[in-house]
Amino acid sequence: MKKHFLLLLILCSISSFAQEKTESKLNTPLLPPPAPVITKHQTVINGQTISYTATTGYMVLKDEAGKAKGNVFFIAYTKDGITDITKRPVTYTFNGGPGSASVWLHMGAIGPKRILMSDKGDALAPPYKYINNEYSWLDKTDLVFIDPINTGYSRAVQGEDPKQFLGYVEDIESVGEFIRLYTVKYGRWSSPKFLAGESYGTTRSAGLSGYLQDKFNMYINGISLISSVLNFQTILFDKGNDLPNILYVPTYTAMAWYHKKIAKEYQGDLQKTLREAESFALNEYATALMKGDLLPEDEKQKIVQKLSKLTGISETFIKNANLRIEISRFTKELLRDEGKTAGRLDGRFTGIDYDNVGERYEFDPSLDATISGPYSTTVNNYLRQELKYENDLAYLMLTGRVQPWNYNNVQNKYLNVAETLRQAMAKNPYLKVWIPSAYYDLATPYFAAEYVVSHMGLRPEQRKNVKFTYFESGHMMYIHKASLIKLKKEADEFYDETLK
């Protein structure tokens, strides 16, 4: 099953760099990394001038005997002039992958600077630029961006096996230890605490909600699960697992609607069409898949016709696929007649392959042709020019150096951290959860996130602490400017509601 997890979320499409020689200085236990670099800045958010301090560098993870094990790179932004730290929240932030640095949330949505892109989210011509982020969360909370080991500039200490950090349990323990250390060293025990994760970072957040409580008695005020995946059974297209086939239908519908491939009767209001797709998926379609080969031919034909109308995929293809439209086939098939492929991270974007006969696309146009270049160029420039931080290592935005990721804690079953989150909410009735989801996201579809929450067994009083927000964009919803503005508005409301 482990090989299937490589399909998860942001695929690690950027090659690992041959850099062992350049890493020797930072990886030598006798030469600990230098103290973090501290710089002063100003920005304007919601018309308010914010003066803040940036702290950029490493936190050294050690065992109980004091032996250095890993150097975790972080960037922290703290608002200046705060006299009562008990009223100033701190948010620990990371992305996913696994194998992703925190650059996406950092420079796409939450941090004080953001990458300049088109309003839709297209990359502009290189060289790329960053600008002040008037939609940063810094007016509401201090921000700590964390790069787990083997992402960003974070590395295991020389002589230490990186595998001790590369797995679900290992990652929770190391990131949890970083959070504990930062909280201690920077005096934030009395501050309200939040977690903000994207993609696999939501898996990490749910795991941390329980780990921080149980290990350190550190209770969290709020968690932002951006493009959420808590139960991997909902997204992995394994033979014998029909759940993704059901839960992906509304996202297929949204993409067919966006690209005008949907049947005429569904080309009107998107919300009305999505409700139709959701109802079909949960009822007729789910029942049909449950019947398997016992499904009568007349019922099968009705499913084929309705599914074709809702997804823009031909009846012939659906019949040949035995009613099941796998994600990578869909991204190739939807626009095949136009010689284009559709994006996985963001279905609004299209690409062009060598030819049109392949079963799957050659690359994800919403990653490789849209965001990879701007984010890589900009973060490397920003760290040196703005934060005055120098490092000769390659900054690993998306890397295969975390693979194989260890899932030994869930052998012979799917990873499901929803129960960890439920337990955390039961122990801490003040914990609030916010789930921003996007309609054109095929990596972590919104309907799957809804399914997971509705199967957590939350009591009515607990369910009130969970809020969904929806966006007409993709996995990195914030590259779409209208969604970025909405994300900021909803974030403000989430912090205000949680802390009132």
Number of domains in the chain: 2
Are residues 489 and 419 both part of a single domain? Answer: yes
Q: Please state at what angle helix 200-216 crosses helix 168-185, rounded to 10 degrees.
A: 60
Shared domain check, 251 and 219:
no
Degrees to nearest 5, angle at CA 367 with 363 and 368? 55
Buried b (16+ CB within 10 A) or exposed e, 136-148: bbbbbbbbbbbbb
Please say which residue of 304, 320, 351 terminates a domain: 351
Q: Answer yes or no: is pLDDT of 54 > 60.
A: yes
Band of pLDDT at residue 4, cut at 50, 70 and 90: very low
| The pair of three-digit structure tokens given for residue 155, joined into one six-digit string | 């590395």
Please give the single-letter amino acid code of residue 127.
P
pLDDT of residue 27: 45
In the predicted model, what is the mean pLDDT of the chain? Answer: 93
Are residues 314 and 402 located together in one domain of the fold? no
Do 246 and 225 lie in a common domain? no
137 to 352, 375, 484: CA distances (angstroms) = 37, 19, 11
CA 13 to mean position of chain CA atoms? 16
- Whether residue 284 is found in the same domain as residue 329: yes
pLDDT one-digit tens code per residue, 20-42: 444 444 444 446 899 999 999 99
Confidence band of 18 (pLDDT split at 50, 70, 90): very low
Domain containing residue 260? 237-351
Residue 360 lies in a domain: no
Long-range contacts formed by 41-49: CB under 8 A, 24+ apart: 41/112, 41/386, 43/112, 43/113, 43/132, 43/133, 43/134, 43/136, 43/138, 44/132, 44/134, 45/112, 45/133, 45/134, 45/135, 45/136, 45/138, 45/139, 46/134, 46/139, 48/139
Task: Report yes or no on 389 lying in a domain.
Answer: yes
pLDDT value of residue 26: 44
Spatial CB neighbours of 47, under 8 Å, sequence gap ≥ 6: none
Please, what sign has the CA dihedral across residues 112, 116, 122, 126?
negative
Same domain, 25 and 137: yes
Residues 89-102 have pLDDT tens digits of: 999 999 999 999 99
The residue from 292, 319, 351 where one domain ends is 351
Asked, for residue 357, whether it belongs to a domain, the answer is no
> Is residue 362 one of the residues assigned to a domain?
no
Do 43 and 187 lie in a common domain? yes
- The structure's pTM equals 0.93
Q: Which of 84, 57, 87, 97 is nearest to 73 (CA)?
A: 57
Look at residue 14 in the predicted model and tell me its pLDDT: 34
Inform me whether the pLDDT recorded for 17 exceeds 70. no
Any idea what the CATH number is for the domain that residue 422 is in? 3.40.50.1820
**140 and 189 in one domain?**
yes
| Residues 136 and 76 grouped into a single domain | yes
Amino acid (1-letter code) at residue 338 = E
Q: Which residue has the higher pLDDT, 70 or 11?
A: 70
Could you report the per-residue pLDDT of 153-170, keeping only the tens digit for each?
999 999 999 999 999 999
pLDDT tens track for 300-310: 999 999 999 99
Percentage of the residues of the chain whose pLDDT score is greater than 70? 94
Q: Residue 436: phi, psi to the nearest 5?
A: -80, 125
Asked whether residue 226 falls in the same domain as residue 310, the answer is no
Phi, psi of 93 (to 5 degrees): -130, 140
**Same-domain check for residues 396 and 278:** no
In a domain, 365, yes or no: no
> Considering the domain boundaries, does residue 80 fall inside one?
yes
At residue 31, the pLDDT reads 64
Q: How far apart, in whole angstroms, are the C-alpha atoms of residue 19 and residue 150?
A: 12
Query: Does 363 map to a domain?
Result: no
User: 407, 164 in Cβ contact below 8 A?
Assistant: no
Q: What's the token pair of residue 254? A: 């949204």
How far, in Å, are 16, 23, 24, 162, 383 from residue 158 at the CA level? Answer: 18, 9, 7, 9, 24
Q: Answer whether residue 393 is part of any domain.
A: yes
Statement to judge: residues 247 and 228 lie in one domain:
no
How far apart are alpha carbons 397 and 156 in whole angstroms? 17
Domain stops at, among 284, 319, 351: 351
Classify residue 169 as exposed, middle or buried by CB count within 10 Å of its CB (0-12, 13-18, 19+): middle
What is each CA distance from 320 to 64, 81, 315, 324, in whole angstroms?
58, 65, 9, 9
Give residue-wise pLDDT tens across range 452-468. Answer: 999 999 999 999 999 99
Over residues 172-178, the mean pLDDT reads 98
